[in-house]
Amino acid sequence: MHIKAWLAVAWREPLVQFGILGSILYLAAQATGVGSLQIPVARLEDSRAKMSRLLERSDSPEAIRRESDLRVVGDELLYREALRLGLDRGDPVIRQHLAQKLLGLAEEAALAGREPTLVEEQALFAQLRGDWTLPSRITFCHVFSSRGWTKNAAASIAVRPGEASCDGRGGEAFPLGALVGPYSEAELAGHFGADFARAVFDAPPDRWAGPLASRFGAHLVRVTVVTPEMPPDFVERRVTLRQAWAQRERAQARAELLRRLAERDRPEASPGASPELRRDVARALAQLVR
């Protein structure tokens, strides 16, 4: 009776249950030959090569190989056990990693063995031409007054010799100095305001214009240097163009994969979701399949 009572108590212990269950599974696997874990040769060799590059000066080749094999076998055992226990399910990090890996495979498949044709390069160059064009820039002298200019004062500035008139004399000190630029119209608008920038770019070069109002006050302006717009050169942009083409192909491959999966699986919010949430999921689905 004492033995039966002891066995009953022991069976209620989780460690005992786990040990007995493990022994049964091990014996069953030995009897049937099922459960043998085969590690690909390529994975073993790849791990050895990587570890040799990292530790070539700190250990012997034989020790490096043993350490590499130990890690590969141990990692594989832990990975398979984690899968058996379902640790991969419901983990947001693993879900995101697998999603990104699938997208990466789709991108690689889209670019495998492909190079852009000359026609594709020229078409993409035409699309990106505006983004790569350097805008026109100007440099100008100005004489500044926070209070505004009278006609007589403006006229007296306008008749001064050209070189002497770039020193800002006759006006107030200005934080950016008397000589401003070179600036594009957008850059100039960021400093002085859009109306002022437009007026300066419309002013004739080497002649006084104004007074022109900015967010600071009034300016008498003389444009001294005009750098014309510089369109991009197709040959000089060839490498950047191919990179842009590859990026576009990857984006299209991702969108196409998501579209096909969305059309096939038609995901929706679970029945317990609110009408608003179900509507939002339906809207996301519609955006993927369009």
pLDDT tens-place string over residues 86-119 = 887 888 888 888 888 888 888 888 888 788 889 9
Q: What is the DSSP string of 50-115?
A: HHHHHHTTTS-HHHHHHHHHHHHHHHHHHHHHHHHTTTTTT-HHHHHHHHHHHHHHHHHHHHTT--
- Report pLDDT for 188: 92
Write down the residue that tokens 């717009």 correspond to.
Answer: 229
Instruction: Supply 49's token pair.
Output: 């090569």
Give Cβ neighbours of residue 156 (< 8 Å, ≥ 6 apart).
170
Taking the model in full, what pTM does it have? 0.55
Give 7's pLDDT tier (boundaries 50, 70, 90): very low
Using an 8 Å Cβ cutoff, are 180 and 204 in contact? no
Q: What is the mean pLDDT of residues 186-196?
A: 91
- DSSP annotation of 171 reads S
Backbone angles phi, psi at 211, to 5 degrees: -70, 140
- Most confident range (mean pLDDT) of 31-40, 72-81, 194-203, 206-215 is 194-203
Of the two residues 14 and 103, the one the predictor is more confident about is 103
- Report pLDDT for 13: 53
Q: What is d(CA 153, CA 142) in angstroms, rounded to the nearest whole number?
A: 14
Q: What is d(CA 96, CA 108) in angstroms, rounded to the nearest whole number?
A: 18
- Report pLDDT for 201: 93
Using an 8 Å Cβ cutoff, are 165 and 103 in contact? no
Q: Please, what is the average pLDDT of the chain?
A: 78
Write down the residue that tokens 């040990």 correspond to.
Answer: 19
Beta bridge partners of residue 225, listed in sequence order:
139
Q: What is the mean pLDDT of residues 243-269?
A: 86
Give Cβ neighbours of residue 185 (< 8 Å, ≥ 6 apart).
135, 136, 197, 198, 201
Tens of pLDDT, residue by residue over 134-189, are: 899 999 988 888 887 766 666 666 555 444 456 666 777 888 888 888 999 999 99
SS3 helix, strand, coil % of the chain, rounded to 5?
60, 10, 30
- Report pLDDT for 197: 93
Indicate whether 5 pLDDT > 60: no
Q: Which of 131-135, 160-164, 190-194 has the lowest mean pLDDT?
A: 160-164
Q: What is the mean pLDDT of residues 41-69?
A: 75
Other beta carbons within 10 angstroms of residue 248's beta carbon come to 15
Q: What is d(CA 128, CA 232) in angstroms, rounded to the nearest whole number?
A: 9
Give 72's pLDDT tier (boundaries 50, 70, 90): confident
- Report pLDDT for 27: 47
